[in-house]
Amino acid sequence: DWSLKDFDIGRPLGKGHFGKVYLARVRKPGAESFVLVLKCLAKDEVASKGVQTQVRREIEVMQQLRHPNIIRLYGWFHDSQRIYLMLEYAGQGELFKHLRKAGRFSESRSARYISQVSDGLAYLHTKNIIHRDIKPENLLLGMQGEVKVGDFGWSVYAPSEDSQRTIAGTLSYVAPEMILGQAYGRAVDIWALGVLTYELICGAEPFGADNPRTVQARICRCELSFPDFVSINARSFMHKAKNPAIHLLLVAQSSNSRPLTRLSLSTHLMDLDLLTVI
C-alpha cells in the first residue's frame, strides 16, 4: 500500500548496480513522518541481467530479520519502472568510505566492528541464511557508529550445507571452497570476516593482485603476509578465520541441532584472540 507519492525524496546516498539509493521522508497522511532510505531497482535492468530471483530473495530474506547489526527492511513497493526497498537509514554511511579516509583502523576499532558484524552474522546463520557479500561497501554505520550489515542481494538459504556451488560476491572476498567449485555453506561468511579484518587493520586487501587469476590463486593457497605493525593476536585471528577446521567447527555447531547462537559465535571468536585486544 505504499507508492512513490508517499515520500519526499532527498539526497542520493549511493549508487547501486540497478539504480540509485536515496534518503527519503515518509509523508503519508496518518502515518508518522520518519526518515528512511529508498533503494531503487530498475526493472528492465534487473530483467536484462536475469537477477529477478536475487531481488526476490533480497526482499524475502530482509523482511524476516530484526537485529541491531542488520539493516532493517520496513517494506517495499513497485511501479511500472522500478522496485523500491524501504530501508533503515544508516546515518554515517559506508564503512568503506571511513576506511579510505582513515587509511586503516586501529586494532581496537577494527575489533569493535568485527565483533558487531559477527553478532549480525551469527543471527543470520541461525536462520540458515548465508550473506555471501560481506565487504566494507556493504557494511554501514549508524548514527552511534554501530555497524549494520546491508545489501542482501547475494544472500541465499543453506538448507543443506552441500547444495551451494555458485560463485557469488566480490572476488577478493570469495572463499577458496567457492573458487574450487566445492560445496560450501555458512563458513564462507566467516572467511569473508577474516578478509574484512585484514582490510580494516592493514588498509589493503590480503589477496590483492593485478589480475583476477592471480587473486584466485593466492586465495586458494591461503597466501597471507602481514605488515610488521599487525599484532600476534590479530594474526592468529585471521589465520583461524581462514582455517577450514574452523569452518567445519562452525558448520558442525550449526547442523548439530545446537543452534549457532550469538553467544556461541562470540565465545568462539573470543577463542580467536582478536577480541582480547578490545
Active site residues: 133
For residue 138, state whether it binds Mg ion (rule: CB under 5 A): yes
Enumerate residues 6+ apart whose C-beta is below 8 A from 271: 240
Least distance CB 93 / ligand ADP (angstroms): 5
Binding residues for ligand ADP, per CB under 6 A? 13-14, 16-17, 21, 37, 39, 71, 87-90, 93-94, 137-138, 140, 150-151, 153
Among residues 135, 134, 182, the alpha carbon closest in space to that of 161 is found at: 182
262 touches 118 (CB < 8 A): no
Q: Which does 273 bind (CB under 5 to 8 A by kind): Mg ion, ligand ADP, none?
A: none
Q: Which does 169 bind (CB under 5 to 8 A by kind): ligand ADP, Mg ion, none?
A: none
Q: Which does 14 bind (CB under 5 to 8 A by kind): Mg ion, ligand ADP, none?
A: ligand ADP
d(CA 217, CA 200) in angstroms, rounded, equals 22
For residue 216, state whether it binds Mg ion (rule: CB under 5 A): no
Q: Which does 140 bind (CB under 5 to 8 A by kind): ligand ADP, Mg ion, none?
A: ligand ADP
Closest residue to ligand ADP in the complex (CB): 14
27: number of Cβ within 10 Å: 12
Alpha-carbon torsion angle 260, 261, 265, 267, nearest 10: -120
Least distance CB 45 / ligand ADP (angstroms): 10
- Please name the helix (run of DSSP H) or strand (run of DSSP E) that holds residue 178, with its range, or none: helix 176-179
Least distance CB 75 / ligand ADP (angstroms): 14
167: its cell numbers: 560463485
For residue 94, state whether it binds Mg ion (rule: CB under 5 A): no
Order of strands across the sheet that contains 93-94: 93-94, 139-141, 147-149
Residue 70 or 234 with smaller CB distance to ligand ADP:
70
30 burial (CB, 10 Å; 0-12 / 13-18 / 19+) is: exposed
Residue 93 or 244 with smaller CB distance to Mg ion:
93
Residue 195 or 275 with smaller CB distance to ligand ADP:
195
* Sites of contact with Mg ion (CB under 5 A): 138, 151, 153
